[in-house]
Structure 1
Amino acid sequence: MPFRWDYRQHVTLAWFVLKWLAICLPLGIVVGSSVAIFLWSLNVVTLTQWANPWLLYLLPLAGIGSGLMYHYLGREAEGGNNLIMEQIHEPGGGVPLRMAPLVLIGTLITHLFGGSAGREGTAVQMGGSLAGGIGRLLRLTPDETRILLSAGVAAGFGAVFGTPLTGAIFAVEVIAIGRMSYKAIIPCLMASVIGDQVNTAWGIGHTHYHIAFATEITSSLTAVSLDWALTGKVAIAAIFFGLASVLFAQLTHGVSWTAKTYIPIPWLRPAVGGCVVIALVWLIGHRDYLGLGVSSHPPDAGMICIESCFRSGGADWLSWWWKLLFTAVTVGSGFKGGEVTPLFFIGAALGNVLGVALGAPVDLMAGLGFVAVFAGATNTPLACTIMAIELFGPGHGELLSSGFVVYAAVACFLSYFLSGSSSIYHAQKRDEEEPKREQEPMPETD
């Protein structure tokens, strides 16, 4: 067979990369800077809430203010993450630029007054909104708009968690279950890496989690040592992780449906949700499940949080359920924020409990639950496996050699599989019924 080199194909592919680098560079800078502002502001309002616990009792009034803001100014921006997904599927009216400031203000209101929510929804919506604005400015085609919106999602996700590779994979995996657009992966990776680096350059750090677990390497000829008994325990835990993700998605959707059905005035829904959150705090007698729940205040105060779940005795048997309920009420009633960080809390707390019940390392099971519940709730097992490596692997080579990556993959993929068609995103499409569908072509060489 004679050797043939079609230089035109490589020129076209090189132009594709350079064009998207030119687009993703300013996108990553803008999104990374916006996320830095958001994370700094979020830290300020969280510390303010901790220092002034009485602010919780203003949560219903804050809900009215947030609801009125979206009622009069939001319009289609109310769609949030689902609107961005819909525009990636079928570009139409676009993602409004006002979504970025609205979701930023709405999320800060939620956390200032004690609502239980996350932060990834804010970063993703900011990324998608800013990407939409750049797309309109550049007059991109519908296909290019899809790619740019995905890159905006990647930049926001990668920057807010400090996981650039996860951000890129998440942006292409979350859109349609069973189908990934490899045409968008390079722009998504560029935007995610740039966004993360810009966020870091602004001096914004991320929480570092440590898993001390590591097994001995049984042979110098093998790269990974697997404990098969432990693998079985991980598989059992994955069943519960998947069921927890289903429970969270369905309860959140159920709260939202109930609120819309029985409370016809939109801006009153979060007010009612705020009252329920206050009642739940009275019921359990403490505030551990408010806010992000990443760390305790003051440090080492015995508060249940994500960090404490990596220690034996760092969570109660029902900690995962209470965080699930608090978040479902907060987000389902209309408060802004995100679901992913609460999902991390739910998974880590459930992993802590299962580690004790199954006789497995608590820190390992907490780490696996951290990513696996997220995988089941968003149907992104590959991104979550990568996230486990990015979050827990750096500086701990012995952890990767201990089979952790395999355990993470087992937990994430089984949790995803056992969660069925459930998802926190109703705009997420399921393309698994079309396994022979061709992938999107790369740019034409002619």
Structure 2
Amino acid sequence: MFKNFFSKQVSLLSYLIRWTLISIPVAIAIGSVVALFLWLLNWAIHFRFAHTWLLYLLPAAGVIIHLLYKWYGQSAERGNNLIIDEIHEPGAGVPKRMAPLILVTTVITHLFGGSAGREGTAVQIGGSLANLFGSWFRLNEADKKVVLTAGVAAGFGAVFGTPLTGAIFALEVIAIGRIQYNALLPCLIAGLVADVTVSAWGVHHTPYHIGVVNTGQQFYGHNIPVSVWLLGKVVVASAFFGLASYAFAKAVHLVKNLSLKWIKVNWLIPVCGGIVIILLTYILGKPDYLSLGVDAEYPGAITIVSAFQHGGAHLFSWFWKLVYTSVTLGTGFKGGEVTPLFYIGATLGNTLAELMNAPISLFAALGFIAVFAGATNTPLACTLMGIELFGGEYAIFFAVACFTAYFFSGEGGIYSAQRIAEPKPGSDKDKSNHFKRIFNKYRL
């Protein structure tokens, strides 16, 4: 018995050492490229701030992006969905050119004012480099799945400064309702090392703060740590966060499908998308909904940061960001969806807090993570993101918001390659499985 136990411990130690040695160089490479990407992205955004006329070249930028993917992109055009498919069923692999292509085209999108994010870029950088290292290390198919998952964790953790979230996101995003823990250790190592690497390069992330909120309640002379009244408001708001997630996912797919249906010349699709963005900006009279929406182009601009303050968002700020991003991504511009989802959630949380007489900064933070949770079907990762970004004091509210939004966000999400391992309660597939169980129970 002792010999068998000792043998298992040696095997476990060998596993830990092996994956540590594999994950660290992969994560350092990914973290370094993500640091370069964040630096270039920051430069592009502030350069456009100083040269606002660049927005009028957005249609031409769209054509350049289209041609780059037509000439060099091949399967890389599928982006995050290709990486998810490769983790499920390894096939042709993730092309090496995916990392430089998505980096360059995302910077182009933001340089000329397109409304997009950065998570998709970081995840594709992570997947592409992880696949490259997998071929160098001559890993088998099972290990390639693990290293690809670790690459996603490294890219996500590095771009937002949330290594634990990156690890759980990589495990949770693969299939709805199921987490496979076989890649947990490599993901944790990769997320942490990539985040440290970004910091080592001198690249820093935007800090967000929740004001002091009294979340307790007196009940017959006893102090309850969680106010039932405030918790009820959080549940109601989170249902709206979930519906916003659903609307975003449907809007992006709708724009893409309508563009392909009605515009027969492919390079004209980004041209039309760029023109729509220019017209919307001219009609609204302000550039608040362009690019990331993190830094303010002018004093008083509506940003993610401003949404944490009283009067920091308008009634329909979330709606306009949803429209801008749907048009940008749906017509072929590149970037991620997550930072725009942060913007949509934070501004919607600000609006709902004003309407419900609730703490503004807390509800902005809840929207920040909950809309993301609903759109990506990753409530656990987003709960951890709330803790990593805002602290653990309001963890119960983060969890309630993320899981409520997850339930209200519909059956799909922004990643079409994401598979359904366990249907959401109340979904069509859940009902179908319920009726099958009843039939199997009572059949003769």
TM-score range, shorter chain: over 0.9
State the TM-score, normalized to the length of structure 2.
0.92
SS of the counterpart of 1:266?
A: coil
RMSD: 1.8
**Alignment coverage as a number of residue pairs:** 423
Q: Distance in 1 between matches of 2:244 and 2:196?
A: 33
Contact 1:215 1:225 in 2 (8 A): no
Residue 248 of structure 1: aligned partner: 248
Contact 1:66 1:267 in 2 (8 A): no
Within-5 A mapping of 1:66-145: 66-145=65-144
Residue 324 of structure 2: aligned partner: 326
Shift in Å at residue 217 of structure 1? Answer: 6.0
Using a 3 Å threshold, how does the CA distance of structure 1 residues 58 and 421 change in structure 2: closer, same or farther? same
Q: Distance in 1 between matches of 2:254 and 2:217?
A: 49
Letter in 2 for 1:418: F
Residue 239 of structure 1: aligned partner: 239
Do structure 1's residue 35 and structure 2's residue 34 form an aligned pair? yes
Q: Distance in 2 between matches of 1:112 and 1:224?
A: 50
Within-5 A mapping of 1:331-346: 331-346=329-344
Shift in Å at residue 432 of structure 1? Answer: 0.3
Contact 1:168 1:189 in 2 (8 A): yes
Letter in 1 for 2:231: T
Shift in Å at residue 140 of structure 1? Answer: 1.1
Shift in Å at residue 279 of structure 1? Answer: 1.0
Do structure 1's residue 405 and structure 2's residue 403 form an aligned pair? no
Q: Distance in 2 between matches of 1:216 and 1:329?
A: 39
Within-5 A mapping of 1:204-283: 204-215=203-214, 225-283=225-283
Residue 426 of structure 2: aligned partner: none
Residue 367 of structure 1: aligned partner: 365
Do structure 1's residue 431 and structure 2's residue 431 form an aligned pair? no
SS of the counterpart of 2:287?
A: coil
Shift in Å at residue 216 of structure 1? Answer: 6.5
Using a 3 Å threshold, how does the CA distance of structure 1 residues 13 and 223 change in structure 2: closer, same or farther? farther
Q: Deviations over 1:375-399 (max 9, x none)?
A: 0000000000000000011xxxxxx
Q: Deviations over 1:161-187 (max 9, x none)?
A: 000000000000000011111001110
State the TM-score, normalized to the length of structure 1.
0.92
Contact 1:67 1:268 in 2 (8 A): no
Q: Distance in 2 between matches of 1:188 and 1:152?
A: 8
Q: Distance in 2 between matches of 1:255 and 1:223?
A: 51
Letter in 2 for 1:86: D
Letter in 2 for 1:319: S
Using a 3 Å threshold, how does the CA distance of structure 1 residues 4 and 210 change in structure 2: closer, same or farther? same
Shift in Å at residue 223 of structure 1? Answer: 11
Letter in 1 for 2:409: S
Using a 3 Å threshold, how does the CA distance of structure 1 residues 136 and 312 change in structure 2: closer, same or farther? same
Shift in Å at residue 258 of structure 1? Answer: 1.1
Q: Distance in 2 between matches of 1:79 and 1:385?
A: 28
SS of the counterpart of 1:6?
A: helix
Shift in Å at residue 261 of structure 1? Answer: 1.8
Residue 291 of structure 1: aligned partner: 291
SS of the counterpart of 1:320?
A: helix
Q: Distance in 2 between matches of 1:99 and 1:81?
A: 10
Letter in 1 for 2:384: I
Q: Distance in 2 between matches of 1:386 and 1:224?
A: 24
Q: Distance in 2 between matches of 1:62 and 1:216?
A: 48
Letter in 1 for 2:180: S
Letter in 2 for 1:429: R
Q: Deviations over 1:265-313 (max 9, x none)?
A: 3332211110110111112111000010012134xx0000001100011
SS of the counterpart of 1:261?
A: helix
Unmatched 5+ residue regions in structure 1?
Answer: 394-399, 437-446
Letter in 2 for 1:266: N
Q: Distance in 1 between matches of 2:130 and 2:267?
A: 28
Using a 3 Å threshold, how does the CA distance of structure 1 residues 100 and 6 change in structure 2: closer, same or farther? same
Q: Distance in 1 between matches of 2:86 and 2:217?
A: 51
Using a 3 Å threshold, how does the CA distance of structure 1 residues 4 and 406 change in structure 2: closer, same or farther? farther
Q: Deviations over 1:27-82 (max 9, x none)?
A: 01100000000000001101110000000000000000110000110000101000
Contact 2:215 2:227 in 1 (8 A): no
Q: Distance in 2 between matches of 1:119 and 1:199?
A: 15
Contact 1:110 1:335 in 2 (8 A): yes
Contact 1:71 1:267 in 2 (8 A): no
Using a 3 Å threshold, how does the CA distance of structure 1 residues 216 and 271 change in structure 2: closer, same or farther? closer
Letter in 2 for 1:292: L
Q: Deviations over 1:337-359 (max 9, x none)?
A: 00000000000000000001111
Shift in Å at residue 4 of structure 1? Answer: 8.3
Q: Distance in 1 between matches of 2:3 and 2:367?
A: 50
Partner residue of 2:352 out of 354, 357, 366: 354
Using a 3 Å threshold, how does the CA distance of structure 1 residues 252 and 224 change in structure 2: closer, same or farther? farther
Q: Distance in 1 between matches of 2:132 and 2:271?
A: 32
Shift in Å at residue 224 of structure 1? Answer: 8.1
Q: Deviations over 1:125-165 (max 9, x none)?
A: 00000001111122211111110100000000000000000
Q: Distance in 2 between matches of 1:308 and 1:295?
A: 9
Residue 439 of structure 1: aligned partner: none
Do structure 1's residue 391 and structure 2's residue 389 form an aligned pair? yes
Identity %: 54
